[in-house]
Chain A
C-alpha cells in the first residue's frame, strides 16, 4: 500500500504542478490576487507529495520490497542499510525522483519564506518553477517510473555492485543536484522578470542568496566527486576533463559569474539584462548537464542510463526550456529599464571582467565537451578531447582572471582608482615575487612556469588577506581599533575574503599536484624496496583480509624517511565473493598537504606484485581550497543584510552606461 500511495502522490504532484503553472500565471496576467496565491499553496503541496513519494520509494528499498522493479534492479537484501538507502538515488529512476524532490523543495521554500516578495513576481516565479517540475514529473512517470511493480516478485534483488558501495558516492549526487536544481530558482526569477517586464530591488535581493546556496552545493559536490574519483578509481588523477565532470563544471563557472553579477545587480541595480541572461544560461547548463549524463550520449563510466527514449524526452525538455527562455529573452530584454552607471575602472567594471572571462572559459569547456559528440553524430568519427585541449584554452583564460581577482574588492563602486588599489596590493605582489625569485634560485628555470603558478596562488591568498587588512586598517590603527572594525565588518566581506583565499589554495594544490608529482611503477617481491621522492617503500608481505562481503589480500608497505619508519600503508586487492568481482583499494598517507598514494596490481604466484606509487605534492590543497571556498559562500549567505553599494561621488571622470 505504501508503495502505491507513493506512486499516487507522484501523480498528484504532477497534476498540481500543471495547475500551479497555469492558474497563477493566468492570475498574474489578469492581476487577480486570489489566483496568484494558488502558486504558493500548490508549490507547498507539490513538495509534500513528492516527499511522500520519495519516502515511499526509500521505504521499499529499506524493507527490500522486491515487488518494485526498481528495487529488484538496484538492491539486494545483503546490502548494508546505508547503501540500501543511497541505492534509492544510485540509479536512473531514483535519481530523477531526487532531482524532482529538490526542485519542488526549492519551490516550496520560495513559497514559504518570501513574504516581502511582490505577489505578482512570486506568482510568476512559482509558476515557472511549477512548469519545470511538471516537465520532470511527467518524464519520471512516463519514461523512468521507479514505481513499476512486478508480480510475482523475485525473491532476491540483483545489484550489489561493490564499486557503488561507497560513502562518497552516496553523498555526491544529492549535493550536486542541490547545486544543479538550485539554479532553477534564479532561472525562474529571470523568466518571471522577463514576463513581467520589470526588475526591481526585490528581484536582486532574492536571486543572490539562491544562487549562492546553489553555488555552495555545486562546489562541494564537484570537489567530492573529484576526491571520490581520486581515491576509488585507483588512477591517482583528480580531474580528468571527463564529459560528466565538465557537465557539472560548466554550471559552476556560469553560477560563479552569476553570483558576481548579482552583487552588482543588488547593490547598484546595474547589469540587469546581463544578470538575467546569466541566470538563464546557468540553468540551461544544468539541464544540459542532466541531459548529457542521463541520456547516455556519453560513453563514460558515469553514464548509467542508455535508453534512447529517455534521452529524447530530456532533449525535448531541454529545447522547450532553453529555447523558450532565450526566445523570451530576445523578445523582452529590450523592455527592461536600464540600471545604474559606472566607469570602466570600478568594482562593477572588475565584476564585468570576471563575468566575461568566466563565461568565455565556460564556452571553451562547452566546446570541448560537445564537439566530440557533434563530430561523432555527423561523421561517425570518435575523437576524444582531453587535457591538452583544456590546458591550452581554459588555462590561459584563467590566468588573467586570477590576476584580477585581488583587484576587484579593492576598487570602489561606480568609479575606482586602480593605482590606489595597486598600492594596497603591493605587499601581495611583493610576496608573490619573492616566492618566484627564491623558487627560481633554488630550482632553476625549468620550473619557471610552475613557479609562476605558485606565485599566482600566493598573490591570490595574500591579496585576499590584504583586502581585509586594509578594511580593518591593520597596522594603521591600534590593534583594538582593528579588532573593532573587523568585528563590525559585514560577514559578506569576510565571505569574499575567505572564498578568494580558497581559490588561491586550490590553485596552489593544482599547480603542486601537476608540476611536482612523481610516479613510479615497479614489480616488487616481499622484502624488496623502491624509492620515491626521498622515501623508501619496503614491501613487507601479504596480509589476508576479509570483511563480510569480500575477501582479499592487503599488501603491507613500510615507508621510511632517512631510515625512520614514518608510515605503514596497506593497499588492498579485494574480491567481492558474491559477484566474484575484484576491486582495488588504494592506500593514501598524507604528509602535510602532500600525499603518498599506493595502489597494487595483480599479485603473481611467486609473490611479485606490480606496485604503483605516486607522490602528490600539495594535492590535498585542491579539496581543502574547495572547502574554504564553500565556507566563504556560507559566510556570505549568513549575512542577510540588505546590500547597498555606496558609490563614490563623481569628481571628474565620465560615467558610461552600464549595458
Chain B
C-alpha cells in the first residue's frame, strides 16, 4: 500500500513538473536579446575594471570597447521574439495529467515487480534462521568457510551440494580447496576433474584430463576417471581409442553401477552404424557380451581391443594378488573374465580367492556370493 501511495506522490510530482510552467505568468518578454545585451554590458564593465587595474593598455582597451559595442549593436539588430499569446494549453495539460501517469504506470507494470517486497540480507537472516532451507544452509557453511578457509572437511561437504545445484565453478573451487587441504586422493582428483568438466559445459578440458590422469595414478580402476577419460578420447576425435576405452570400462563395471547406462550410451554414440538406440536399456545384469558389445566389436580393431582389455584385467588380477581383501575387485575380475568368455580363468580366480581369503570367512562369503550371482562354478 505504501508503495502505491509513494508512487502516486512521485507521479503527481512528475505531472506538476509540466503543469506548473504552463500556469505561471511569464516575465516581460524579449529576454532573448536582453540576456545577450546584459552580457555585453558586463563585458564593458569588466573592460573598464581591467583598464583601471592597468592590466591592458589604453589602445587595446579602446579597440576592445569598439568591438564589444559593435556586438551590442548587432544583438539589438537581431531583435527579439514575439510575446506568447495567452493560450489554453489544452493538449499540453492533457499530456501532463493523463498521458504522463498512464504511460509511466503502464511501462512500470510491464517491467517492474510491484508485489515483490525488499529483502535485505539482515532481515532475511532473522526471518529464516531455524527454517533451514538449502540456500541458507549453504550460506551458513559458506560463511563458516570464509572465516575458516582452512577447513578442508567443510569444503568437501559443500562440493557435492554445489554439483547438485549446478554451481560447477563453485564446486571446482571447493574441491580444489579440499584437495589442497586434505591431500590428493583418487576420488578427490576424479571428482575435481568431473567438476571442471561440468563447469566447461561437459567438455573434458586439459586441466580436467590432468586431474583424471592423477586419479588413475592413485587407483588405476577409479571408474569416474576412466569414464571421463573415455569421454575425452571421443571428444578429441580419437574414435577407436574411445571405443576401446568404453568397452574396457563397461567390461569391468558392476552391472548395477549407475553410470553403466551412460557409458553404453556414449559408446553407442561413437558407432553411427549401430542399430541400437543410444538409450536402449540393454540387459545390464546379464553376464556375457551385450548387444552393444557385439556391435562395438564389429567396429574396432580386435587386436587393439583385446590388448587393452587384457591389460586392464591383468592389472586388476595383480592388484588382487597384493590385496585380496578387495571384494568388489574380485567381483569385477570375475565379471571381466565372464564377459571375455574366459570361464576357466574365472574359475581359477575364484579358486585363488578362496585360497587367499581362507582366514577371512566373512570376506570370502561376499566373494562367494558375487561369484555365484555372476554364474561361476554353476556347472
Is A34 a contact of B63 with CB atoms below 8 Å?
A: no
Contact of A1 with B118 in the complex, beta carbons under 8 Å: yes
Residues in chain B near residue A488, CB distance under 8 A: 53-55
- In the bound complex, do residue B39 and residue A37 qualify as a contact, i.e. CB atoms below 8 Å apart? no
Task: Determine whether the beta carbon of B112 is less than 8 Å from that of A4.
Answer: yes
Contacts A118-B31, A551-B149, A647-B60 known; A12 to B11 CB distance under 8 Å?
yes
Instruction: Write out the residue numbers on chain B whose beta carbons fall within 8 Å of the beta carbon of A649.
Output: 59-60, 62-63
Q: 1/0 per position for A25-52, CB-CB distance to B under 8 A? A: 0000011111101101110110011001
In the complex formed, the residue of A with least CB distance to B107 is: A11
| Selected contact of B145 from candidates A32, A551, A578, CB within 8 Å | A578
Residues of A within 8 A of B119 (CB): 65-67, 153
Q: Given the interface contacts A11-B108, A644-B43, does A31 sit within 8 Å of B82 by beta carbon?
A: yes
Question: Do A118 and B36 contact each other (CB < 8 Å), given the known contacts A41-B21, A155-B136?
Answer: yes
The smallest beta-carbon distance between B104 and chain A, in angstroms, is 5
Q: Is B100 an interface residue (CB 8 A)?
A: yes
Q: State which residues 617-638 of A face B: CB under 8 Å.
A: none
**Interface presence of B122 (CB below 8 A):** yes
What is the bound-complex CA distance between A118 and B34, given in angstroms? 8
Nearest residue in B to A488 (C-beta to C-beta)?
A: B53
Contact residues on A (Cβ < 8 Å of other chain), bracket: 35 or more
Q: Residues of A contacting B257 with CB < 8 Å?
A: none
CB distance from A3 to the nearest CB of B (A): 5
Q: Which of A3, A60, A147, A579 counts the most chain B CB atoms within 10 A?
A: A3
Residue in contact with B39 in the complex, picked from A4, A64, A205, CB distance below 8 Å: A205
Q: Say yes or no: B17 contacts A41, CB within 8 Å.
A: yes
- State whether A1 touches B3 (Cβ < 8 A): yes
Is the Cβ of A63 less than 8 Å from the Cβ of B120? Answer: yes
Q: Are B121 and A77 in contact (CB under 8 A)?
A: yes
Shortest B179–chain A CB gap in Å is 10
Residues in A neighbouring B120, C-beta threshold 8 A: 63-65
The CA-CA distance from A19 to B10 in the complex, in Å, is 16
Indicate if A653 sits at the interface (CB-CB under 8 A). Answer: no
Instruction: Using known A-B contacts A340-B67, A648-B60, determine if residue A15 contacts B3 with beta carbons closer than 8 Å.
Output: no
Interface residues of A in 1-21 (CB under 8 A from B): 1-5, 7-9, 11-12, 14-16, 19
Interface residue A564 (Cβ < 8 Å from any Cβ of B):
no
Residues of B within 8 A of A577 (CB): 145-146, 149, 177
Of the residues B36, B50, B63, contact of A648 by C-beta under 8 Å: B63
Give the total number of A-B pairs whose CB atoms are below 8 A apart. Answer: 228
> What secondary structure prevails in chain B residues at the interface with A?
helix
Given contacts A120-B32, A200-B36, contact A34 B89 (CB under 8 A): yes
Using Cβ atoms and an 8 Å threshold, which residues of chain B touch A151?
113, 116
| B29 at interface, CB cutoff 8 A | yes
From known contacts A5-B7, A12-B14, A488-B53, infer whether A145 and B26 are also in contact, taking CB-CB under 8 Å: no
Q: Is A78 an interface residue (CB 8 A)?
A: yes
Given known contacts A141-B107, A155-B136, A642-B42, A198 and B113 CB-to-CB distance under 8 angstroms: no
Q: Which single member of B20, B62, B89, B100 contacts A41 (CB below 8 Å)?
A: B20
* CB atoms of B89 and A118 under 8 A apart: no
Contact, CB under 8 Å: B136 / A4 = no
Q: Which residue of chain A has the shortest Cβ distance to B38 in the bound complex? A: A116
Interface residues of B in 1-37 (CB under 8 A from A): 2-3, 6-7, 10-11, 13-14, 16-18, 20-22, 24, 26, 29, 31-36
Would B104 and A12 count as touching, CB distance under 8 A? yes
Given contacts A45-B14, A63-B121, A200-B36, contact A578 B31 (CB under 8 A): no
Q: Mark A644-659, 1 if CB is under 8 A from B, else 0.
A: 1111110000000000
Assuming the A-B contacts A15-B100, A118-B35, A579-B173, are A44 and B17 also in contact, with contact meaning beta carbons closer than 8 angstroms in the complex? yes
**Cβ–Cβ contact A32 & B87, under 8 A:** yes
Distance of A238 Cα from B35 Cα, bound (Å): 47
Question: Please, how many angstroms separate the alpha-carbon atoms of A645 and B34 in the complex?
Answer: 22
Residue-wise, chain B 72-87 has the 8 Å CB interface mask toward A (1 for contact) of: 0001001001111001
A201-B17 contact, Cβ under 8 Å, with A119-B32, A549-B146: no
* Shortest distance from the beta carbon of A40 to any chain B beta carbon, whole Å: 7
Contact A12 B10 (CB under 8 A): yes
Contacts of B103 in A (CB 8 A): 15
CA distance A646 to B48 in the complex (A): 12
Q: Does A387 contact B (CB under 8 A)?
A: no
Pick from B31, B95, B121: contact of A66, CB under 8 Å:
B121
A3, B22: Cβ atoms closer than 8 Å:
no
Q: Kindly list chain B residues whose C-beta atoms are within 8 Å of the C-beta of A578.
A: 142, 145-146, 149, 173
Q: How far is the CB of B129 from chain A (nearest CB, A)?
A: 11
Most interface-central of A4, A16, A202, A485 (chain B CB within 10 A): A4
Q: Report A630 CB to chain B, min CB distance, Å.
A: 26
Task: Name 14 extra pairs, CB < 8 A, besides A121-B32, A202-B39.
Answer: A3-B118, A11-B112, A34-B21, A34-B84, A37-B21, A40-B21, A48-B13, A67-B116, A155-B135, A577-B145, A641-B46, A642-B42, A644-B43, A647-B67
A-B contacts, 27 listed (Cβ < 8 Å): A4-B3, A8-B112, A11-B112, A16-B14, A32-B84, A33-B26, A33-B84, A34-B84, A37-B21, A38-B22, A41-B21, A66-B119, A67-B118, A78-B146, A116-B38, A118-B31, A118-B32, A147-B111, A155-B138, A198-B78, A202-B36, A205-B39, A644-B43, A644-B47, A646-B60, A646-B61, A649-B59
